[in-house]
Amino acid sequence: MHYSHLCRRILLLVCFLPLCIAAAPFLTPADFAADHSFVDTELSPNGELLAVTIVHEGKRQLAIFRTQDKKMVGGAKFPGRQETGQAYWVNNERLVIKLLESEPWDEQPKFYGQLYAVDYNGKNGELIYGVGAGESKASRLRKKEDTFGWGDVISILPGDPKHILISSTPMSDGGERRATIHKLNVYDGKMSSALTRSPVSYARFITDGNGSLKIAFGLDAEGERRTFRYENDQWKEISAEFGPGFYPLALNEAGDKLYYLDDPKKDLKGLFELDMLSGAKREIYTDDQVDITSVTYSSDGNSIYALRVDPDYPTYVMLNSSNPEAELYRQFLHSFPGYKISITSRSDDGRWWLLYASNDIDAGTYHLYDKEMHALRPMFANLSHLKAEHLSQSEPVSFVTSDKVTISGYLTYPQSDSNEQKVPLVVLVHGGPHGVRDYWSFDREVQLLASQGYAVLRVNFRGSDGYGRAFREAGHRQWGGLMMRDIIEGTRWAAGQERIDASKICIMGGSFGGYAAMQAAIVEPDLYRCVIGTVGVYDLPLMFEKGDIPERLYGESYLSDVLGKDEAQLRAFSPVYNADKLKAAIMIAHNKKDRRVPIEHAERLRDALDQADKPYEWFIKDTEAHGFSNAANRADYYQAVSQYLSKHLGG
């Protein structure tokens, strides 16, 4: 439902002007495999310094720059498998970093609850929380305790330059133990006695603008979601009825109203407000097509003045036109037509603002805005060697399935001297599949494929996130059913477009996308000329036995919900048991360290293809996990994909 008297929608305009340029330079697969150099940024409270997480030689490191001239003045790097995670300015001198650790079997480095503090110039660095925090005998700082727990930052405590508020969760196999709340000194690592204990496991905490604890949200012993407010040093449960999509966001300045996302009608997710004293609820905004993608908070965290939804292009909804920050945000949107805009941080006095702008042909650039001087300048650009004028724009598309369901997606045509030239098609299937969708955004694989002369179709099939609970749950137990139908009917729709060569179609994807690529070619063996399955699930019954999902606390329950336990259906939906039906050329790519989808899936498919006397190409990396985190390995994979597609779609 739209509320025009409360909000005004600003559509992100996209220019589709023809590109009047010279011939594009030849781009190699390695060009698209390069790492994003800049992962995260944070302005110091006074706006004079900028903390930037930089990827250097495959590792995340912290660099500190002066905003005035971009001169590097400090930072931190860690030995071995340790890397920089999210960094928080506690004051203008000192930062706290979530310490990450990379393992051979993980696609990305992970946070294991350790907190590290360091001065901006790289001095006085110490592990202040977690296992190992008490082991630094040579430190000039006072002795700290070694904590066998998981720490997380709740608040940097505005007005207190020496402490942060953290949750400390004792280590356990499932992580279900309840956290205690403490103040942690960022200079000497001393932790206060527990201020309180969380009333729920896996808790998320919300504070007011002063850093005072107000809300806890998590799971009880039966796995049910519960929400509590902290009042007079006690937790009191909020008894209001919420929908299945309830997720608390922030409190207003007075601390008596809670902003939250929910889907009380069990479908599209909107923004709501709860009066915590009276229990009254008010709907602020719910879109009529899609879930809310994200919200934009005021600098004090006490209000939400903008929302983003993604029916096709990103669309921004302004909730409070009188808010000065909302007006400034509106100006940013107008300054970058055809871009997605997010505010990553601001200085305390509101003079300095850091923005991140990106779109389908721009991997993203950080810009610094000086409100006093009305000046905006670029600071750091990702993948700057890939020029927008040499990349291909993506257009939102939709089609209606045979059972009258509208499915959305994106179609990208390669740059061409003539729009009359027919081009081969690659259907690129997203992973997940639940809780994930394709967006109008920069996608390195889309651009790689388009640079090779292929059109690229991405389909947000049933089961994808963002289109409401009913749409998402329609994919449950339908991996090989309705979800395949949507992908196949989307392929046929695209094949009917004037610029597509329907005789040259390949399908590819990673994880679920790898499964879908193989299964779609089994269901419709004459539709696809070739298939690329990457770290794909090929034996659905094996999902209950191997991998990290069944090891998780609610992992088996999740698999039962999304896959079901009908053995006959699981086998019918599994490529391993239907490999003899494949006619397309086949490429299998997998990694030996994959814990999400163990390599046994690929090996079983290989054996089934051997038994059916079906040829295939085999691409394996020994050191990668569920994807390609190393740029060199990613480049090898992209090169193999490019050669494979050229062989089967070229000529």
**How would you write 151-197 as a 3-class SS string?**
EEEEECCCCCCCEEEEEEEECCCCCCCCCEEEEEECCCCCECCCCEE
Q: d(Cα 497, Cα 501) in Å, to the nearest integer?
A: 9
Is the per-residue pLDDT at 270 higher than 80? yes
Q: Is 91 exposed, middle or buried (0-12, 13-18, 19+ CB in 10 A)?
A: middle
Task: List the one residue out of 516, 502, 377, 386 whose CA is nearest residue 443.
Answer: 386
pLDDT of 149: 80
pLDDT of 2: 37
For residue 499, give the DSSP letter: T
* DSSP secondary structure string for all residues of 87-151: EEESSSSEEEEEEEE--TT-SS-EEEEEEEEEETTS-S-EEEESTTTT--TT-SSPP-----EEE
Task: List the one residue out of 390, 459, 359 whose CA is nearest residue 32.
Answer: 390
The residue assigned the tokens 């879930």 is: 291
The residue assigned the tokens 């009066």 is: 275
Percent of the chain with pLDDT over 90: 75
Is the per-residue pLDDT at 137 higher than 70? no
pLDDT in tens, 69-86: 999 999 999 988 899 999
User: pLDDT band at residue 24, thresholds of 50, 70 and 90?
Assistant: low
Would you state the torsion angle of the CA atoms of residues 483, 489, 492, 494, taken in this order, to the nearest 10 degrees?
-80
Provide Rg for the chain, Cα atoms.
25
How many other C-beta atoms are found inside a 10 Å radius of the C-beta of residue 57? Answer: 7
Contact 127, 92 (CB under 8 A): no
pLDDT of 320: 77
pLDDT of 142: 37
Q: d(Cα 464, Cα 395) in Å, to the nearest integer?
A: 19
The lowest-confidence range among 131-140, 334-343, 368-377, 537-546 is 131-140
User: pLDDT band at residue 8, thresholds of 50, 70 and 90?
Assistant: very low
Task: List the one residue out of 417, 469, 73, 136 whose CA is nearest residue 270.
Answer: 469
Higher pLDDT, 138 or 251: 251
Residue type, 389: E
User: pLDDT band at residue 104, thresholds of 50, 70 and 90?
Assistant: low
Angle at 157 between CA 49 and CA 123, to 5 degrees: 45
Contact 588, 619 (CB under 8 A): yes
Angle at 345 between CA 340 and CA 351, to 5 degrees: 105
User: pLDDT band at residue 9, thresholds of 50, 70 and 90?
Assistant: very low
User: Mean pLDDT across the stretch 573-600?
Assistant: 96
Residue type, 476: H
pLDDT in tens, 452-498: 999 999 999 999 999 999 999 999 999 999 999 999 999 999 999 99
**Residue 112 CB partners (closer than 8 Å, separation 6+):** 99, 101, 130, 150
**Residue 520 CB partners (closer than 8 Å, separation 6+):** 427, 429, 484, 487, 488, 491, 507, 527, 528
Is the per-residue pLDDT at 401 higher than 90? yes
The size of the chain, in residues, is 651
Is the per-residue pLDDT at 499 higher than 70? yes
**Residue 508 CB partners (closer than 8 Å, separation 6+):** 426, 427, 428, 429, 514, 517, 531, 532, 533, 534, 641
pLDDT of 555: 85
Strongest mean pLDDT among 259-268, 324-333, 579-588: 579-588
Contact 259, 250 (CB under 8 A): yes
pLDDT of 223: 77
Q: How many helices (H) and strands (E) does the chain have?
A: 10, 36
pLDDT in tens, 291-309: 999 999 887 777 899 999 9
User: pLDDT band at residue 217, thresholds of 50, 70 and 90?
Assistant: very high
Angle at 50 between CA 48 and CA 56, to 5 degrees: 150
* DSSP secondary structure string for all residues of 233-278: TEEEE------TT-EEEEE-TTS-EEEEEE-TTSSS-EEEEEETTT
pLDDT of 552: 81
pLDDT of 241: 84
CA distances from 542 to 66, 433, 437, 574, 600 (A): 53, 17, 25, 10, 9
CA distances from 303 to 238, 277, 300, 323, 343 (A): 21, 18, 8, 10, 15
Is the per-residue pLDDT at 91 higher than 50? yes
User: pLDDT band at residue 3, thresholds of 50, 70 and 90?
Assistant: very low
Query: How is the chain split into domains, by residue range?
Result: 392-649
pLDDT in tens, 151-208: 999 999 998 999 999 999 987 765 578 999 999 999 999 999 999 999 999 999 999 8
Question: What is the edge-to-edge ordering of all strands in the sheet holding 8-11?
Answer: 8-11, 315-318, 304-309, 292-297
* CATH code of the region 392-649: 3.40.50.1820
pLDDT in tens, 229-261: 999 999 999 877 888 889 999 988 888 899 999
> In the predicted model, what is the mean pLDDT of the chain?
90
Q: d(Cα 605, Cα 155) in Å, to the nearest integer?
A: 49
The lowest-confidence range among 409-418, 446-455, 585-594 is 409-418
For residue 6, give the DSSP letter: T
Tokens of 541: 């019954």
Q: Is 419 exposed, middle or buried (0-12, 13-18, 19+ CB in 10 A)?
A: exposed
Residue type, 542: L
pLDDT of 359: 97
pLDDT of 418: 66
pLDDT in tens, 501-513: 999 999 999 999 9
Higher pLDDT, 57 or 560: 560
pLDDT of 303: 82
pLDDT of 140: 38
pLDDT of 205: 95
User: pLDDT band at residue 324, thresholds of 50, 70 and 90?
Assistant: confident
Q: d(Cα 13, Cα 22) in Å, to the nearest integer?
A: 26
